[in-house]
Structure 1
Amino acid sequence: MQPSPPKLPLTPEEKQHLKASKVKLNDIALMELSELAFYLQASLERAQYLRGLAQFQSVPSIGPKVSERVVQMGFYSLDDIKHTRGEELINRWEQHCGYWEDPCLEDSFRCMVHYANHPTSERTWFDFTDERKHYREQNGYPATRPTVSWQDIFKKTR
């Protein structure tokens, strides 16, 4: 079964360039940056951003919003997160955004790190819920964790 293509924030021009070059969205995750930049007619930084989103969305059950968060933290490939841990990523993300997140996001980060180390794995984010719960029962959260929840933040913006 063909994986679904990543959802990428491509400009109309970038879509047109990819189509003219016969590049499929599913190919982007594995392309060399210089090659992707050439086909997009974009900078290496733009190519790196888009390829990062595509690579992270290649992980089973990981979508564009979770992928975007990992890229916002400065990770652009599965290799970049291979030697980290899901709890490290969520701690870093919460410091970055200033509020604590839905625990499912930590499950997603754990899934991504697992997949980076086991690329044929078909485990999905919810397969990591028990692992997270066990870890948090044993270790809790860091003292520096933000005190405001994502729910409080998003209630105020509605």
Structure 2
Amino acid sequence: MSFKKGNRMQPSPPKLPLTPEEKQRLKASKVKLNDIALMELSELAFYLQTSIERAQYLRGLAEFQSVPSIGPKVSERVVQMGFYSLDDIKQTSGEELINRWEEQCGYWEDPCLEDSFRCIVHYANHPTSERTWFDFTDERKHYREQNGYPATRPTVSWKDIFNKTR
């Protein structure tokens, strides 16, 4: 999720669910989407003319999308679990996050989501890392071979849920 600018890689702008009014306010204030992840909440709320809660939500989405290979859907899931910054997530683990997410949504997920969660936690603790989510597949497989899944894991898979809705 980056683009080349000169000889160095620049992160792509985050994909955020901004209203047309919010987009206009950011443009008028000369705030770039890539700046949102680093802004103070009060400053972002001021520029957007919105609540601190809305600013926190948007900044959280932007911050998690700043992690190499993490897009808007994974970022949304992390925020839905109540994490709004990389600092919030440092003390957890990818396996804790996937267990929590699966319990919250009521079905088990594609294993790649656990790899993505592992990537986010790793990046929170190693911010200069350029590892991407697929660099964590072997780690996840090894962990699951040794530890399995919790007994409380949902029995329905994401495939079952989404195939029924089509």
Give the structure 1 partner of residue 4 of structure 2: none
Unaligned runs of 5+ in 2: 1-8
Secondary structure in 1 aligned to 2:122?
Answer: helix
Shift of 1:95: 0.3
Query: Structure 2 CA distance, aligned partners of 1:124 and 1:74?
Result: 23
Deviation track 1:97-156 (CA, whole Å, cap 9, x = no partner) reads 000000000000000000000000000000000000000000000000000000000001
Deviation track 1:19-62 (CA, whole Å, cap 9, x = no partner) reads 00000000000000000000000000000000000000000000
Shift of 1:71: 0.2
Query: Structure 1 CA distance, aligned partners of 2:117 and 2:151?
Result: 20
CA RMSD of aligned residues (A): 0.3
Shift of 1:90: 0.1
Query: Structure 2 CA distance, aligned partners of 1:89 and 1:116?
Result: 14
Give the structure 1 partner of residue 88 of structure 2: 80
Secondary structure in 2 aligned to 1:2?
Answer: strand
Aligned to 1:141, which of 140, 146, 149? Answer: 149
Aligned length, in residue pairs:
158
- Deviation beyond 2 Å, 4+ runs, structure 1: none
Query: Structure 1 CA distance, aligned partners of 2:143 and 2:154?
Result: 19
Shift of 1:2: 1.6
Seq. identity, % = 93
